[in-house]
Amino acid sequence: MKKSFLSSKIHKATVTDSQLDYEGSCEIDISLLNAAGISVHEKIDIYNITNGERFTTYAIKGKAETGNICINGACCHKVSIGDKIIICTYVDIDSKEIKNHKPKVIHVDGENKILDSNTYGNVSLME
């Protein structure tokens, strides 16, 4: 049996741009993607801290060290520039791998510069 667990998270990022007339997706500074272990074109869930909206899209590469996070396409209706968001990915893990799973979490400042990078401890199993 497999279960879904948090794989990576960019916490409290700030939306820097929004492009409605685009195919869709979320452009993220490649430095942030690499730090969080998120691949280009990987499915991401975005949770808008500012207004409570939640949606799914995919990551595209943005220019390094810019702090750019640009929401594209229809998702623009769910965010505004300046909104605080959480960007997450998940992984399906076989039950044998659960106890050793450690998600990667990146905390950023108001300009989306990395404050710290943590790997959460092992997932605890309910007994």
**pLDDT (tens digit per residue) in 93-117:** 998 888 889 999 999 999 999 998 8
pLDDT band at 121 (very low <50, low <70, confident <90, very high): low
Range of the domain at 41: 2-119
Residue 127 lies in a domain: no
CATH of the domain at 63: 2.40.40.20
Q: Is 51 helix (H, G, I), strand (E, B) or coil?
A: coil
Distance CA 121, CA 36 (A): 16
Residue 104 lies in a domain: yes
Of 7, 18, 25, 31, the active-site residue reads 25
- DSSP structural state of residue 123: P
Q: Based on the residue annotation, tell me whether 25 is a catalytic residue of this protein.
A: yes
What does pLDDT average to over the chain? 92
Residue 8 lies in a domain: yes
Domain count, the chain: 1
Residue 42 lies in a domain: yes
pTM: 0.90
Of 22, 47, 58, 90, the active-site residue reads 58
61, 51, 106, 44: which is closest to 70 by C-alpha? 61
pLDDT band at 124 (very low <50, low <70, confident <90, very high): very low
Residue 124 lies in a domain: no
